[in-house]
Amino acid sequence: MFKKTTLFYLASLLTLALSLTFTIGQIGAQDSATCPVGQGYWKNTPTWPVTQLMLGSQTYTQVELLILLNTPPAGDASLILVHQLIAAKLNAAKGLDSAIITGVITQGDAILASFTG
């Protein structure tokens, strides 16, 4: 089982990697089609590039993912990680280059897969 500090560290690392990855090479872009967008964008737009995502070892529908995105983490590091993974995976699904953060995404999925339920 992973400690909350490990989950929080990984979520922070994913956030940093996501922002660095999608900022480099995209500096001149101004719209959501070519720039990475955060979890706030994804929970407020009906247009997603995919209708389901795998988090850990479970597949979630867009409706289930929206429920997760609208659930305040309240200090729960696993929810912080889930929010960042959803944003990272949706940004990758819309065609942004995610090669630099693929390893971090894989680590996040491995941590979530270790939980039951």
Q: Give the pLDDT confidence score for residue 2 in this predicted structure.
A: 55
Going from the C-alpha of 52 to that of each of 49, 59, 107, the distances in angstroms are: 9, 7, 20
What integer best gives the mean pLDDT of the chain?
A: 83
Cβ(86)–Cβ(69) under 8 Å?
yes
Going from the C-alpha of 99 to that of each of 24, 69, 86, the distances in angstroms are: 12, 24, 16
Q: Give the pLDDT confidence score for residue 62 in this predicted structure.
A: 98
Q: Which domain holds residue 74?
A: 4-113
Domain count for the chain, please give it. Answer: 1
What is the average per-residue pLDDT within 28-49? 81
**Run of H or E including 63:** helix 62-69
